[in-house]
Amino acid sequence: MRPKSRGQIHLTGPTPQDPLQIEPNTLSHPDDLKAAIASVRLCREIGNSLPLRPFVKREVAPGNLEGPALENFIRDAAISYAHEGSTAKMGRDEMSVVDGQLKVYGIDNLRIADASIMPRVTTGNTMPLASSSANVLERY
């Protein structure tokens, strides 16, 4: 839930219509792969537990994989939940996007009030934050 891998986004041209080059670098930090392997093992333990045995016929995925084969499965199966956050830094330095009042630097009358300004994303779903920030913005 707190990946250490870091990706990059690059501009490919000078206009807003130019596509972005996105390099997610998913699972590039070894601790992230270890956490994913531990997650698979925990799911196996739960799925193979005595209380669930009457409901489980077999492990469908990843199947009987271990070692490098399990690592390859995890790398191929890893996806984003598309609830990105912490993408608009709050602060006073040149990398900051918003100030402490959530005002976007360089653009009058615009504030960002969603998970993008959070310094650390919650380990729960961020979608409720989007709803609550929309409600806050409607009042202004």
Classify 40 as helix, strand or coil: helix
DSSP label at residue 113: -
Catalytic residue flag (residue 83): yes
Residues 27-52: b if buried by 16+ CB within 10 A, e if exposed:
beeeebbebbbeebeeeeeeeeeeee
> Which of 29, 83, 103, 111 is an active site residue?
83
Q: List % helix, strand, coil for the chain (3-state, nearest 5).
A: 35, 10, 55
As a whole number of Å, the end-to-end CA separation of the chain is 33
Nearest-10 crossing angle of helices 30-47, 67-77:
100
- Please identify every residue annotated as catalytic: 83
